[in-house]
């Protein structure tokens, strides 16, 4: 069982695919904050063999779309008074705005300034997305 | 029913919406003069960021024949786009003056981007190698008008099936109909992409590089041009350009009621002698293109069917 001692109110990101913990840690800019955080790598896991996990001793807003793109299989646990009060399972977002870049050089998003790209999920199994503008496919 | 909508991709219209659009277009074909007043007081903007005289004329003629008027530019050098204005700003400005806008752009997705900012209907008149929905509507109306209906046909598509966007969007649109057999005829270097084949629904297909061998079974032969700009190497282009040439001799192998279609302009792929054959319908096709655009403008502006 996950040791959440020391976290009164906060978040644990669990079941992160080994190796992706650091990426998420950086993506959430946890290396820049002044409250207590922990990145645990290669912890033993019944489900995954090993896993990464992140403890955050603070309530912060998580961008679930970004997390879903990095690792749709992770679990987010919301902690209050050292108890898990809520678990959030992620899924691949149906639409992703402003994060991915279209790789098609003929796409309007490659030349037009100030355009936010939007990618739409076309196949969850292969994590395939298509550009809303030119329909070019991209896989995560 | 389509009032206020944007037409960006050929699959933006449901079968039901297509059907009512075709019915209106057929009423226009039968008596165009009855519709010559429907667009009075309306203005269509044609925003052509790359030249395409044929497509622009077709839209402008359609609007003028409805009694409406046209403003626009036919190449970006003469427009505010040359001064670096964004598409969003251009379309919002145009929306102050015009009732609908037609956009041709070399970059894929530009009309979709315009539609996000636009207060008036945006019609995609070709965006790079991506979509050209009114060409597809033209092709469907031509088949329906000359062959009675669209289902239950053997349809040959011949030429550059790899890069030809006209073929891709036509096949996508046809795939919604029933009991079609597609015959994809191309040089081995220019075969149709697998993702198009995956979306044929319940319809069947075969692939070949031998036009003469399949000629006799076709109800429709859709010829396309091999485009120079798709090739890095001039020799390769010249070799593939001459791969298929439809001539009178090959036409003898075809059914008596087969029709030959072509999106135009043609280069060498149809010999001029074929023009005299009543089965060659590509110039009629261009006329249907104007009628379907009249119908589309009427629907998008809510100018009433009857
Ligand atoms: Zn794109």
Predicted TM-score (pTM) of this structure: 0.84
**B110/A132 CB distance under 8 A:** no
Judgement on whether residues A66 and A134 belong to the same structural domain of the protein: no
- Provide the number of structural domains found in chain B: 2
What distance in angstroms lies between residue B22's CA and the mean position of ligand 1's atoms? Answer: 31
Determine, for residues B109 and A110 on separate chains, whether the beta-carbon distance falls below 8 Å. Answer: no
CATH (domain of A37): 3.30.70.140
B116 is known to lie in a ligand binding site: no
CA B287 to ligand 1 center in whole angstroms: 33
Q: Would A106 be classed as within a structural domain? A: yes
Same-domain status, B71 and B142: no
Percent of chain A, pLDDT > 70?
96
For residue B293, give its domain range: 10-131+289-300
The low-confidence residues of chain B, meaning pLDDT below 70, are 78-82, 305-306
In this structure, is residue A4 part of a structural domain?
no
What is the CATH number for B64?
A: 3.40.50.1370
Residue A9 Cα, gap to closest chain B Cα (Å): 42
For A116, the domain range is: 95-139
| Cβ–Cβ gap B110/A104 under 8 Å | no
- Please tell me the predicted confidence (pLDDT) of residue B97: 97
- Strand B181-185, strand B154-158: pairing: parallel
What's the mean per-residue pLDDT of chain A? 87
What span, in angstroms and rounded, lies between the C-alpha atoms of B153 and B203?
Answer: 10
Has B135 been labeled as part of a binding site?
yes
Between chains, do A134 and B108 touch, taking CB under 8 Å as contact?
yes
Is A3 domain-assigned?
no
B217 is in an annotated binding site: no
Residue A59 and residue A106 in one domain: no
* Beta partners for residue B156, in sequence order: B183, B221
A43, A45, A50, A55 alpha-carbon torsion, rounded to 10°? -40
Of B207, B172, B206, the residue nearest B188 (C-alpha): B207
Cβ partners under 8 Å of residue B301, min gap 6: B3, B39, B42, B99, B100, B121
CA distance A108 to chain B (A): 5
Q: Which two tokens stand for residue B167?
A: 């073929």
Alpha carbons B110 and A109: distance in angstroms, whole number: 8
Q: Does A1 score more than 50 pLDDT? A: no
CA distance A68 to chain B (A): 26
Q: What is the ipTM of this complex?
A: 0.84
pLDDT in tens, A22-66: 999 998 899 899 998 999 999 998 877 899 999 999 888 888 888
Q: In 3D, which of A23, A21, A27 has the Cα closest to residue A53?
A: A21
């Amino acid at each position: 069982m996950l040791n959440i001692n020391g976290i009164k109110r906060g978040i644990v990101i669990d079941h992160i695919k080994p190796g992706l913990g650091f990426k998420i840690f950086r993506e959430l800019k946890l290396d820049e904050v002044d409250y207590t955080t922990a990145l645990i790598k290669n912890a033993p896991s019944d489900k995954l063999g090993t896993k990464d996990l992140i403890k955050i001793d603070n309530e912060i807003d998580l961008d679930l779309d970004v997390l879903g793109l990095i690792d749709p299989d992770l679990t987010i646990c919301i902690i209050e008074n050292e108890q898990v009060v809520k678990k959030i399972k992620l899924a691949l977002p149906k639409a992703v705005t402003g994060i991915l870049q279209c790789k098609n050089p003929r796409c309007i998003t490659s030349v037009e300034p100030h355009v936010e790209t939007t990618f739409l999920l076309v196949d969850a199994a292969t994590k395939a997305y298509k550009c809303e503008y030119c329909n070019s496919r991209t896989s995560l | 029913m389509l009032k206020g909508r944007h037409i960006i991709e050929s699959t933006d219209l449901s079968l039901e919406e297509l059907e009512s659009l075709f019915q209106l277009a057929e009423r226009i074909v039968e008596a165009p003069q009855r519709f010559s007043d429907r667009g009075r007081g309306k203005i269509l903007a044609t925003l052509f960021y790359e030249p395409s005289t044929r497509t622009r004329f077709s839209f402008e003629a359609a609007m003028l024949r409805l009694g409406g008027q046209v403003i626009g530019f036919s190449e970006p050098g003469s427009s505010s786009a040359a001064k670096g204005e964004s598409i969003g700003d251009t379309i919002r400005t145009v929306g102050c003056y015009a009732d609908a806008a037609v956009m041709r752009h070399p970059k894929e997705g530009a009309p979709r981007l315009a539609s996000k900012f636009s207060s008036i209907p945006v019609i995609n008149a070709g965006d790079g190698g991506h979509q050209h929905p009114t060409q597809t509507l033209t092709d469907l109306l031509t088949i329906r008008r000359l062959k009675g209906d669209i289902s239950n046909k053997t349809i040959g598509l011949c030429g550059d099936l790899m890069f030809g966007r006209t073929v891709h969007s036509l096949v996508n649109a046809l795939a919604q109909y029933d009991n079609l057999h597609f015959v994809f005829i191309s040089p081995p270097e220019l075969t149709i992409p697998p993702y198009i084949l995956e979306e044929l629904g319940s319809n069947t297909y075969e692939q070949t590089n031998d036009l003469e061998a399949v000629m006799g079974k076709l109800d429709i032969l859709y010829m396309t041009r091999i485009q120079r700009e798709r090739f890095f190497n001039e020799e390769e282009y010249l070799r593939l350009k001459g791969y298929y040439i439809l001539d009178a001799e090959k036409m003898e192998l075809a059914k008596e009621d087969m029709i030959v279609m072509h999106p135009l302009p043609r280069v060498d792929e149809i010999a001029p002698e074929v023009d005299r054959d009543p089965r060659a319908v590509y110039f009629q096709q261009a006329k249907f293109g104007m009628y379907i655009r009249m119908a589309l403008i009427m629907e998008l502006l809510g100018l009433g069917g009857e």
